Amino acid sequence: MNKYIKKWTESSLILKIFCGLIIGAILGITVPQYELIGLPGELFVTALKAIAPLLVFVLVASALSKASDGIGHRFKTVIFLYLSSTFLSAMVAVLGSYLFPVSMHLRNASDVSAPNGLGEVISSMLLKVFANPLISLSQGDYLGILFWAVIFGICLNKIASSTTVTVFSDIAESINLVVRIIIQFAPFGIMGLVFSAVSESGLDIFIQYGQLVLLLVVCIGSVAFITDPLIAALALRRNPYPLVLTCLKESGVTAFFTRSSAANIPVNMRLCERLGLDRDFFSISIPLGATINMEGAAITITIMTLAVCHTLGISVDLPTTIVLSIISTLAACGSSGVAGGSLLLIPMACSLFGIPADISMQAIAVGFIIGVIQDSCETALNSSGDALFSATAEYFDRARRGEDMRFLGEFAKNKSK
């Protein structure tokens, strides 16, 4: 039995996930009535969501408890990369909407509670930050988890003995091992998730609102393959695509099906470890990215808002689009890291143009209709960007300090050519 387990763990995870994807799609088309086939997908996402809050808290606190003084510059770099990439994503969405304007059939939406303005988003974020840490852990509220983990880790760094720090580090390693075990079941989870999506929506989902879906996917793809690589290239001064493709393949594929940046945190942790990044750094930058690096959300908010404007015949000038991009960036940073989290912020952006709430709320309904594709692509971009810019910030810092940049995996192969 151990021989088979070893063989399974040493084989290509991406190949296994691809096989699970194909099998899930075939089963979803041929035997959609067997709903039990989708159970592994639900269990996989549930397990990731269950372990992720504890993983984030322990790793962030452990990293800060033993962090050196030189780690601060990397955090400034990665936060700048997160925010600038999110803003540029919103601008790409503006450009796409101008080149290919789309309309939507606005129908009655279900009763959904959405923020009334930017002030409500900011106040909600602050309330989450100072919430009871136990409640934050139980509810998977990563703003609160990050805040209390940082406080706890800094205090440990100042007053704890080396023995306490070591024990805390060992706990972090134990949780990491649990995560590795869960990830080994990813092919079965992906199979279940694909089966559920295909059996529930069939192929019709690729036809409904085709133009809007196409515009969203093209903008997300443009950011993933043009804008983000350009930012990484400017920082690293070398070909970024091996690193970009590695992040998309190993993080984006899983995030596409989990549709949750929070659930994909353990996957990104594992990827950063394979890329040779400093654990003290990526243990904080990855959960931070899952909270504020929302490129896909900025694209969704901007495109859906401009689609409503185009439908209503509202003319939008260039200065206003810049303001819209800033609002979309700030709103995206406050969006939830779960499926459909960005859609609830569309009314806030629509309010910039005086669009009534009852109209903008209907755009949310349209968003849920196309959500199978939109939210999957959005999350894949968000999550792969977390890993990409964490790696970019670390490699940039190594170059700044004149150290040898040891790129691993496919990135290492590219450097050696």
Query: What's the pLDDT tens digit per position in 178-201?
Result: 877 887 887 888 788 778 877 876
pTM for the whole structure = 0.69
pLDDT value for 412:
44
Q: How far apart are CA 230 and CA 223, in angstroms?
A: 9
Q: How far apart are CA 207 and CA 300, in angstroms?
A: 19
pLDDT value for 119:
61
Please indicate whether residue 116 or residue 242 has the higher confidence score (pLDDT): 242
Please indicate whether residue 372 or residue 339 has the higher confidence score (pLDDT): 372
* For residue 322, pLDDT beyond 80: yes
pLDDT value for 132:
85
Please indicate whether residue 204 or residue 169 has the higher confidence score (pLDDT): 169
Q: How distant is the alpha carbon of residue 65 from its chain centre? A: 26
Mind spelling out the 3-state secondary structure of 308-322? HHHHHCCCCCHHHHH
pLDDT value for 317:
78
Give the number of other CB atoms < 10 A from CB of residue 272. Answer: 24
* For residue 397, pLDDT beyond 80: yes
What are the structural domains of the chain?
Answer: 11-48+69-128+189-416 (1.10.3860.10)
How high is the mean pLDDT of the chain? 78
Contact 17, 186 (CB under 8 A): yes
Kindly tell me the sign of the dihedral angle through the C-alpha atoms of 182, 186, 192, 196: positive
Contact 255, 387 (CB under 8 A): no
As a whole-number percent, the residues of the chain with pLDDT over 90 amount to: 15
pLDDT value for 112:
42
pLDDT value for 415:
43
Residues 28-48 as b or e (16 or more Cβ within 10 Å = b) = beeebeeeebbebbeebbebb
* For residue 111, pLDDT beyond 50: no
Q: What one-letter code names the amino acid at 194?
A: V
* For residue 62, pLDDT beyond 80: no
Which of the four pLDDT bands, split at 50, 70 and 90, describes residue 247?
A: very high
* For residue 337, pLDDT beyond 70: no
Q: According to the per-residue pLDDT averaged within each range, which of 61-70, 86-95, 374-383 is highest?
A: 86-95
Q: What one-letter code names the amino acid at 133?
A: P
Give the number of other CB atoms < 10 A from CB of residue 315. Answer: 8
Please indicate whether residue 255 or residue 164 has the higher confidence score (pLDDT): 255
Q: How far apart are CA 250 and CA 186, in angstroms?
A: 12
Average pLDDT, integer, range 122-138: 76
Please indicate whether residue 86 or residue 203 has the higher confidence score (pLDDT): 86
Lowest mean pLDDT among 175-184, 231-240, 353-362, 369-378: 353-362
pLDDT value for 265:
86
Contact 295, 81 (CB under 8 A): no
Q: How far apart are CA 74 and CA 282, in angstroms?
A: 10
pLDDT value for 226:
95
Q: What one-letter code names the amino acid at 158?
A: K
Average pLDDT, integer, range 276-285: 85
pLDDT value for 109:
39
Q: pLDDT digit string (tens) for 213-233?
A: 899 999 999 999 999 999 999
Q: How far apart are CA 159 and CA 165, in angstroms?
A: 10
Lowest mean pLDDT among 61-70, 80-89, 132-141, 278-287: 61-70
Q: How many helices (H) and strands (E) does the chain have?
A: 21, 0
Within 66-132, residue ranges assigned H as helices are 72-99, 118-129
Q: According to the per-residue pLDDT averaged within each range, which of 11-20, 44-53, 142-151, 273-282 is highest?
A: 273-282
* For residue 406, pLDDT beyond 60: no
Please indicate whether residue 392 or residue 414 has the higher confidence score (pLDDT): 392
pLDDT value for 233:
93
Q: What one-letter code names the amino acid at 46?
A: T
Q: According to the per-residue pLDDT averaged within each range, which of 14-23, 70-79, 384-393 is highest?
A: 384-393
pLDDT value for 72:
64
Q: How far apart are CA 167 and CA 162, in angstroms?
A: 9
Q: According to the per-residue pLDDT averaged within each range, which of 68-82, 96-110, 175-189, 346-360 is highest?
A: 175-189
